[in-house]
Amino acid sequence: MTTVSAADFAFLIAESDSFDWSLSISIVVGMLLGFSGVWALRRHTWRIAQEQATELIEVARREAAVAAEELKQKADLEIQEKRAELNRDYDRREIEMDVRLREIRAHEESLGLLDYQLEQRQERINRETAAVKQARDAIRALSKNVRKRLEGVSQMDAEEIRRALREEVTLECQDELRSMRRQMIEKSEQELQTDARRILIAAMQRIASKPNNDLTATLVPLPSEEMKGRIIGREGRNIKSFEAATGVTLLIDESPQLVLISSFDPIRREIARSALDALVKDGRIHPASIEEFVQRAREEIDLVTTQAGEDAVTKLNINGLHPEIIKLLGKLKYRFSYNQNVLDHSVETAFLASLIASEIGLDPNLAKRAGLLHDIGKAASGELEGSHAHIGAEFIKRYGETPIVTNAVAAHHEEVKPETIYAGIVILADTISATRPGARAESISGYVQRLDRLEKLALSLEGVQQAFAIQAGREIRVVVSPQHVTDDRARDIAKELRARIESELQYPSTIKITVIREARFTETAT
């Protein structure tokens, strides 16, 4: 298509004689109208495009605000999760710190007991040394007297000479008499040890005890994950109310449909478990219902503990115990010592004490009573000061128990002096029940392996000749070569063995290490 410009158009008009001016005017007007329409159309199109661009910018701005809000909410959620994780880690560290403090206190008590035993042994050695010195002085004085008398033997008659000879022979034979006396004492001690072994074996053969189960954490299952939010409540008021009412800590972590109840007091933990179970089943969880269910659970646990105490007393056929003693005794149902249930341990100790007492001709009922009550102080309130033996003795004394039973309870860890043989029987029965294989959630094979590893660890040290694990693995006695190991080196061996045991072995309670360096010289005269 050919385009005609305005100049060309004017030239054509000038050349054409027959050009119609009216037609030209119409054409010009039409062109002006066309240009106006095109300009109006382009202006309308530009305005529509500008409005669409403004609308698109507004939509983009709104979408950016929504995305920013979502990012902010996601960041807040991540911050809350991190804060919850840090709180859980803080709680766990507090629990570990408390456990470490308890272990340190237990070690301090063991060290105090060892110091007391060493002081007693030193006093006994001092007394024996004084007695030996006194006897030596007496012998020297007697020898001088005999020598003076023999100087005037020529002036003595036959009877005086016979008497002097008799005294001299007595002095010369003192070593032989002392040796004969020692042999008689050793023979008597061997007979006593043989008789004691027979009594203990007979008592242990007559009792059969069940093995203990492992102690696990207190977990409460939930029907759904939604229940965790209801337990926490708005702004955490439900969980705060529950923890304040029970005195425990609830750990709601990543475990699906599970809540962990944490507390060093097993009775509080059981009350919290029972109350939380009831709340989950009921479904109405708010501060008022929490206090109601906790109170109801506390009453139920009181009934259960009282019944447990009465069952133990009935099982042992013991009469005349005060109701408060039975109630406190039942609380041992929820106490554990190295995974050994304390109530079952007390009943077992009572049976053993009764059997040992009957074997040696004593009152089995009195020994049984003392054995059952020996650990009752472990159920007392933690606010009371002193060891559980002292607290238990004071408690039963307040409710009318006899001095024999009270002393047996107070002396079963040898913190006070045993005044009767019944205290010694309770000490022996308690040791047998606590240290027998399997008593504290340990299998026979694991028990034997632990003793074998303990002895091998001691034998691996340079200069050690023999090693013996005794007292159910609570003590290791190491015999070193006196020719190759000095006294200072023997002390270093004890320290080195202690460090290796602490770093390489897992064991309950404490292990006593005794290093023996002994030189023996034997001669035979012919």
pLDDT, tens digit, 9 for 90 and up, residues 216-248: 457 777 777 777 777 888 878 888 888 888 888
What pairs with residue 261 in β-bridges?
Answer: 218, 250
Measured over the CA atoms of residue 118, residue 123, residue 126 and residue 127, the dihedral's sign is: negative
CATH number at residue 456: 3.30.300.20
DSSP-derived pairing of the beta strands 218-221 and 258-262: antiparallel
Give the structural domain span for 397. Answer: 213-442
Q: Which of 137-151, 321-335, 499-513 has the highest mean pLDDT?
A: 321-335
Q: Would the pLDDT of 252 be above 50?
A: yes
Give the mean pLDDT of the chain.
Answer: 79
Residues 232 and 221 occupy one common structural domain:
yes
DSSP-derived pairing of the beta strands 464-470 and 336-337: unpaired
Q: Would the pLDDT of 12 be above 80?
A: no
Residues 343 and 287 occupy one common structural domain:
yes
Q: How far apart are CA 526 and CA 524, in angstroms?
A: 7
Residue with tokens 């190759």: 484
Indicate the pLDDT class of residue 339, thresholds 50, 70 and 90. low
Residues 389 and 461 occupy one common structural domain:
no
Q: Is residue 135 part of a domain?
A: no
In this structure, of 20-29, 68-77, 323-332, 385-394, the range with the lowest mean pLDDT score is 20-29
End-to-end CA distance of the chain: 153
Whether the Cβ atoms of residue 474 and residue 509 lie closer than 8 Å to each other: yes
pLDDT digits (tens, 9 = 90+) for 122-153: 888 888 888 888 888 888 777 777 666 666 65
Assigned token pair, 137: 């002085």
Q: Is residue 146 part of a domain?
A: no
- Counting Cα atoms < 13 Å in the Cβ hemisphere of 438 gives 8
In this structure, of 7-16, 64-73, 83-92, 213-222, the range with the lowest mean pLDDT score is 7-16
Residues 261 and 383 occupy one common structural domain:
yes
Q: Is residue 248 part of a domain?
A: yes
Q: Is residue 137 part of a domain?
A: no
Domain boundary (397, 424, 442) is at 442
Residues 462 and 366 occupy one common structural domain:
no
Residues 438 and 460 occupy one common structural domain:
no
CATH number at residue 318: 1.10.3210
What one-character DSSP code corresponds to residue 437? Answer: T
Considering only residues 4 and 124, tell me which one the structure prediction assigns the higher pLDDT.
Answer: 124
Task: Give the H/E segment covering residue 341.
Answer: strand 340-341
Residues 279 and 351 occupy one common structural domain:
yes
The pairs formed by 82-91 with CB atoms below 8 angstroms and a separation of 24 or more are 88/251, 88/253, 91/249, 91/251, 91/262
Whether the Cβ atoms of residue 512 and residue 474 lie closer than 8 Å to each other: yes
Residues 372 and 499 occupy one common structural domain:
no
What residue spans of 206-286 are helical by DSSP H? Answer: 226-232, 237-246, 266-282
Task: Give the H/E segment covering residue 318.
Answer: none
What is the count of structural domains for the chain? 2
Q: Is residue 523 part of a domain?
A: no
Q: How far apart are CA 440 and CA 211, in angstroms?
A: 8
Residues 370 and 384 occupy one common structural domain:
yes
What pairs with residue 218 in β-bridges?
Answer: 261
* DSSP notation for 240-262: HHHHHHH--EEE--SSTTEEEEE
Which residues fall within 8 angstroms of residue 425, CB to CB, at 6 or more apart? 353, 356, 357, 362, 367, 370, 371, 408
Amino acid in position 511: I
In this structure, of 35-44, 154-163, 248-257, 372-381, the range with the lowest mean pLDDT score is 154-163
Q: Is residue 486 part of a domain?
A: yes
> Phi, psi (5° rounding) for residue 218?
-85, 110
369 C-beta neighbours (distance < 10 Å), count: 29
Q: What is the pLDDT of residue 219?
A: 76
Q: How far apart are CA 293 and CA 217, in angstroms?
A: 22
Q: How far apart are CA 337 and CA 509, in angstroms?
A: 10
Domain boundary (427, 442, 457) is at 442
Indicate the pLDDT class of residue 214, thresholds 50, 70 and 90. very low
Residues 477 and 451 occupy one common structural domain:
yes
The pairs formed by 76-83 with CB atoms below 8 angstroms and a separation of 24 or more are none
Q: Give the chain's length.
A: 526
* DSSP notation for 466-499: EEEEEGGGTEEEEEE-TTT--HHHHHHHHHHHHH
DSSP-derived pairing of the beta strands 512-516 and 475-480: parallel
Q: Is residue 42 part of a domain?
A: no
Assigned token pair, 191: 């007979």
Name the percent of the chain lying above pLDDT 70.
Answer: 80
Residues 511 and 394 occupy one common structural domain:
no
Task: Give the H/E segment covering residue 421.
Answer: helix 421-435
Q: What is the pLDDT of residue 218?
A: 73
pTM over 0.85: no
Domain boundary (382, 409, 442) is at 442
Residues 390 and 494 occupy one common structural domain:
no
Considering only residues 339 and 409, tell me which one the structure prediction assigns the higher pLDDT.
Answer: 409
Q: Is residue 510 part of a domain?
A: yes
